[in-house]
């Protein structure tokens, strides 16, 4: 991971601590969280999964033709195996194959809405 991939508020997995951390600040190759300082090369991106989407408040609203639809009312993700296939915004289906990790979704969500994507549970 590079520090340019991250922004304040992103969630990452800190390998040395074996737990998820929320980025509080970034300086050079370190992230700062409420429980310590961590070198970015030792942080891993968190794969985008249904469980994480549910933590962010997304809701499942159907499975059609073997595709799962999950939405938060603003963005709908459509997937057959994972959540990096398509995104639907106001009826427009957009391919987003490069969105595979939580921090990428958080950054995209912020760019589209101006609001932070945080855990609700």
* 3-state SS, residue 43: strand
- The reply to whether 77 and 93 lie within a common domain is yes
- Evaluate whether 119 touches 51 at the Cβ level (below 8 Å): no
Classify residue 76: in a domain, yes or no: yes
Q: Quote the mean pLDDT of the chain.
A: 81
The better pLDDT of the pair 81, 50 is held by 50
Answer whether residue 25 shows pLDDT above 90: yes
Are 57 and 30 contained in the same domain? no
Return the pLDDT at 101: 87
State whether 31 and 59 are in the same domain: no
DSSP for residue 41: G
Task: State whether 8 and 37 are in the same domain.
Answer: yes
Residue 82: pLDDT band with limits 50, 70, 90: low
**Considering all CA atoms of the chain, what is the largest pairwise distance in Å, rounded to the nearest integer?**
46
Shared domain check, 57 and 40: no
Are both 91 and 61 inside the same structural domain?
yes
37 domain-assigned: yes
Domain count, the chain: 2
Q: pLDDT tens-digit profile of 33-48?
A: 888 899 999 999 999 8
Say if residue 35 is in the same domain as residue 54.
Answer: no
CA dihedral 61, 65, 68, 72 (to 10 degrees): -40
pLDDT reported for residue 100:
80
Per-residue pLDDT tens for 46-70? 998 888 888 888 888 776 666 677 7
The pTM of the full predicted model, rounded to 2 decimals, is 0.79
Report if residue 99 sits inside a domain.
Answer: yes
Domain assignment of residue 36, yes or no = yes
The predicted pLDDT at position 51 comes to 86
- Which domain covers residue 13, as residue numbers? 3-44
In a shared domain, residues 29 and 63: no
Percent of the chain with pLDDT over 70: 76
In this structure, of 2-11, 39-48, 82-91, the range with the lowest mean pLDDT score is 82-91
Alpha helices in the chain (DSSP H): 50-55, 102-113
Is residue 75 domain-shared with residue 108, that is, in the same domain? yes
Whether residues 54 and 107 fall in one domain:
yes
């Amino acid at each position: 991971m590079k520090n340019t991939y991250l922004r304040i508020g992103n969630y990452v997995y800190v390998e040395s601590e074996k737990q998820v951390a929320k980025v509080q600040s970034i300086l050079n190759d370190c992230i700062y969280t409420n429980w310590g300082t961590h070198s970015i090369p030792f942080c891993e991106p968190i794969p985008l999964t249904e469980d994480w989407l549910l933590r962010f408040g997304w809701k499942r609203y159907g499975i059609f033709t073997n595709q799962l639809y999950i939405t938060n009312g603003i963005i709908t993700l459509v997937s057959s195996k994972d959540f990096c296939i398509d995104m639907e915004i106001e009826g427009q289906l957009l391919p987003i194959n490069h969105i595979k990790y939580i921090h990428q979704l958080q950054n995209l969500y912020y760019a589209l809405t101006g609001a932070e994507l945080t855990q609700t549970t």
